[in-house]
Amino acid sequence: MPNPTIDIASTRREALTVPVYKRSRGIARPVPLLIAGVVLLIAPLYVSAFWLQLGFTISALAVGAIGLNLLTGTTGQLSLAHPFFMGVGALAYVVLSGESQETSLGPIIGLGLPPLLGMIGGVLLAGLAGLLFSPVSARLQGIYLGVSSLALVFIGLHVLNTVSPLSGGFNGRSTPAFEVLGLRFDHSDNPVTILGVPFGRAELLWYLGIVLLVLAYWFARNLLKSRPGRAMKLVADSQLAASVMGVPVMQYKGKVFFASSVYAGLAGVMYALAIGSIAPQSFGMDLSMQFLAMIVIGGLGSVGGAIAGAAFVTSLPLVIQNLSEYIPFVSNSPGGMSASHLASYIYGAAVILVLIFKPSGLAGIWESAVRLTKRRRPGTDKTHTARRGRADVQDPTN
C-alpha cells in the first residue's frame, strides 16, 4: 500500500485560491446601493450645513477606521499609532498648501502648493512614516506592537507642540481651503447655486468625503478578496501556519502597516479640512481609543463595519448633546456630565457588550438581520433552501 504524501505547494495553492461563490437569487444588490447613492447625492439639497459637516467628519474618520481594520481586524496587528500618521498627513497638507506668514507668535512656514498636491503629499509622507516604522511592526506583535506604536503618538504630540513654524505650536494653525477643478471649498461670497441651493464649503466637502470614502472602501474590499487579502487572514489566524504555507509573514505585516498608514494620512488631511485647523490635542490618545472602539463596535475585519462604527462613535456625542434637555444628568454645569463623557461611557459599554454577545459587531448584526429577513420571506421552500445551502457558500469578505 503506497504511503500517503502531502504536496505542500498544492496545499498552499488551494488555501490561497479564490473559492467560487454562487450569487443569491434575492433582490439584486445594485438596487439598494443605487437608492443609497441617490440619497447621498441629493442630501445637500435638504440637509443643513451642520449635518453635512458631520457627514464629512464621519467620512474622514471612516477612512482611517478602514485602514486600522485592515491592520488590526484582518491581519491581527494591534496598533495605537493611527493618530500619529493622521497628524503627519494633516501637518504635511497645511505646510505644503499653506502660505508663509508672520504672526504674533512667530513666522509660519508654508509652500503655497495647490491643495490637491498638498493632499497627495500628505498621504505619501504618512505612508513614508509608516514604511520607516514597518520593520519594527513586522517583528513585533500583540501588546508589544501596541506599546511601541503608542510611543509614536507621544512623539507626534511633542513634535506638534515644539515645531511652531510648521504646526503653529500649542494653538495650532488654520487649514488651507481645498481646491480642485476650479472649485474652492471655503465660505465663498459667490457659491455655486443648484436648484436654488447655494453649494458652499459644507456641500462641497460632503461630496469630497463621499468620493474619497468610496475609493477607500473599494480598494479595501478588492484587497481582501485578492490573494494578499487571504494571506493577511492567514497571518491573523496563525503566523506559524502562514509561514509553513509559504506566506512571507514579516513582509506582509510590514506592507499592511504601510497601507494602514496611507489610509491614516488621507484621513488626517480630511480631518484637518473638517475641523478647519490642526492642533496637537486633536491627535492624541483619545483618538486612538476612539479608533479601536470604531473597529470593535463595527466588526473586526469588516470594511462596512468600520464605516458603521465610525458613524456611531463620531455622531454619538452630538446626538447626546442635541438630546441633553431630555437627559437629566447631562449638563456642562458643575456636577453635571458632559455629552462627550457620557459618549465615552457608552463606547466602553458597547465594546464590552459586542465582545461578549456579538464579536462580529454591527456588521454581524446586519448580516444576521438579512438572513432572518430572507428566511421569513413568503413562499420560501425551507427544504429546497436547506438542500441548496450546502452548495451556496457565503462570501467571507462581506
Q: What pTM, to 2 d.p., does this model score? A: 0.83
Residue 389 is placed in which grid cell? 445551502
Residue-wise pLDDT tens for the chain (398 aa)?
Answer: 444 444 444 444 444 544 444 444 444 467 777 888 888 888 888 888 888 999 999 999 999 999 999 999 888 899 999 999 999 999 999 999 988 887 777 788 889 899 999 999 999 999 999 999 988 888 888 889 889 999 999 999 999 999 888 888 888 888 998 888 777 777 665 666 666 666 778 888 999 999 999 999 999 999 999 988 888 888 888 888 888 888 888 888 999 999 999 999 999 999 999 999 898 888 989 899 999 999 999 999 899 999 999 999 999 888 888 777 777 777 767 767 777 788 888 888 888 988 888 888 888 888 888 888 877 766 554 444 444 444 444 444 55
pLDDT score of 388: 44
Identify the pLDDT of residue 192. Answer: 66
| CA–CA distance, 85 with 291 (Å, rounded to integer) | 13
What pLDDT is recorded for position 34? 83
- pLDDT for the residue 62: 96
Reduced to 3 states (helix: H, G, I; strand: E, B; else coil), residue 6 is coil
pLDDT of residue 108: 85
Q: Which of 141, 276, 105, 103 is nearest to 205 (CA)?
A: 276
Strands 183-185 and 178-180: what pairing? antiparallel
Q: Which long-range contacts (CB under 8 A, 24 or more apart) does 339-344 make?
A: 343/313, 343/316, 343/317
Question: Cα 183 from chain centroid?
Answer: 26
Q: Where are the alpha helices (DSSP H) in the chain?
A: 8-15, 30-42, 49-68, 82-97, 115-139, 143-162, 164-167, 201-225, 227-237, 239-244, 249-275, 285-298, 303-322, 339-357, 361-375, 382-389
CA–CA distance, 299 with 355 (Å, rounded to integer): 10
What residue segments make up the domains of the chain, in order of their start? Answer: 44-187+195-281
pLDDT value of residue 193: 67
Q: Identify the pLDDT of residue 195.
A: 62
pLDDT tens-place string over residues 124-135: 999 999 999 988
Give residue-wise pLDDT tens across range 22-61.
444 444 467 777 888 888 888 888 888 888 999 999 999 9
Of 107, 14, 18, 87, residue with least CA distance to 396: 18
